[in-house]
Structure 1
Amino acid sequence: MGGSPLQTDSFLRFHHAGDVTVKPGRRLGPRRIHDYELVYFPKSTRTLYTSAGVTYALDSPFALITRPGETHDYNFDPAIPTRHLFVHFDFVTDGIRQRYPKLLLEGAAPATVADGSLVPQLMKQLLYSFHHRPARWQSMAEMLLLTVMEEMEGSLEPDSGHLDPRAIPPQIANALQYIDTHANETIEVEQLAKMAGWSHEHFTRTFQRHVGHSPKEWMTKRRIGLAAQLLLQRSDSVKQIARAAGFADEYYFHRLFRRMMGMTATEYRRKYGDPRLREMAPPDDWGRFYPLNHIFILRSADKE
């Protein structure tokens, strides 16, 4: 695979990277690596990660870094395949490394990836750059990786203001993920409660306590959010958008949208619409633009 030589002003060396899904029950390690590895787990799993003698349950989206010579191991989810994105790299100079004292400290805890985080799309863009090698890919990849590390370092700061997903029970995290994935479908609270293995009452109380909304309120909020996104990305009529977002009653949709967004759907599209948004692929389509379960060897960028 071709690529540009390392630029003289580069401050990172990339070795290899990938977006892979491993079979249930696989164990990796204990092992030590000679470089740094950034790993991103996009979904809640029962994977266990151990570093410096401490074991962490990766029961929410997490990003973590292992350091050269640090003993660590993974016990992947025993029941379902586990997807993770990773990149191996080194620092060219100490100046950049010193920007991340908490993140690069041996045994540092995994960083939670909260809602609204930049990490998911930046990691996918990073893999896209490694696969396609556009002009100046090395510089772009460096900026992407450092932006991920900036966010991770910030999440480890005291009083960072981020809600720790580890405080959310995995049953609620899974319900939130299911709602996001099926926002345009009819979802019953009883259905979510059964998926969690809880009673309807216990699920509703726990959901309200951790999310700040009842399950029905949250589902409505996510469906209106989906409709708002579709209004900007599609040229369909408002009626078609309402149906695509799961609203069978157009008039109910209009009333709800105005109450929650402070304006009508037509006014929202007129105020925030941009024709360029219609050319963008949905975020979930990113995986189509580079091969999954493939390792990108980047040693062409490893020359001194």
Structure 2
Amino acid sequence: MNSQSFYRLQDAHDCDIRITDRELVVNCTGVIAIDHPFTTWRPCGRQDYYLMYMIEGELDLPLLQQVIRPGQLILFAPGAETKYVKSDNQDMAYYWMHISGRGVAALLEACSLETGRVYDAGVSQAVLDDFHHLFDNFLYRDAYLEPAAAALAGQILVKLRRGINRRQLTKHELSPERISRSLALIHQQYSRSISVRELADLEHLSVSRYAALFRACMGLSPQAYIIRMRLDMAMELLQRTDLSVKQIAQTVGYADQLYFSRLFRSRFGVPPSRFPE
């Protein structure tokens, strides 16, 4: 990949312009692809908004004490000091655009995008395609450049926001909080028979989806988790009480003492009658 830059005003190389008479204008856009160290520092920032969307490598953001990595983005506000540093010789690439206009602040608010904050949207081919469509419009430079570029810029921001939401949802789904009601039921009633269907219904999920989500969150299937919990409780009872093995087996949910003993030995290496030795 090669670096490319496109400017709305062909005679203005930087095109650092604040627009107030139109809703949204793309001043310039492009892609940076570099494999050597560099530092960009603008103490007074720019007059427009600056979007940076990483797709390869990483950049240090010393003013934020953060690193921006592939799939992440940041928006710099007009007038904000901007500094980013590449300190290695690895391949690095990011797409960028500068936008201005009286409607930009409202658009960013509608997309829940704050300036000066790193977001994780993931690397999206759909977003990259929109950037290349944006580049094409700057190449064609027909009478509809400005409205077409504005529409694509808005579309890019919306797709990035949706990507952020999907990433946040994925992280939430893989958190035990997503299965908190069924986990609470297991911990409260582990000694009775609990079906995966009952647990899935609590979380309003299909059995297959719940089982996959439970394993992703807890590292075990629901039934294996229940067995482990029963056996761990049995171990505690053997250590802390003078209950018989039969009584403990029944307490944790096993009517068959022999079956309980086999499970216990499989987990702890010794039968319950010899634990602790």
User: What TM-score do the two structures reach when normalised by structure 2?
Assistant: 0.47
Higher relative contact order structure (alpha carbons within 8 Å, sequence separation ≥ 6): 1
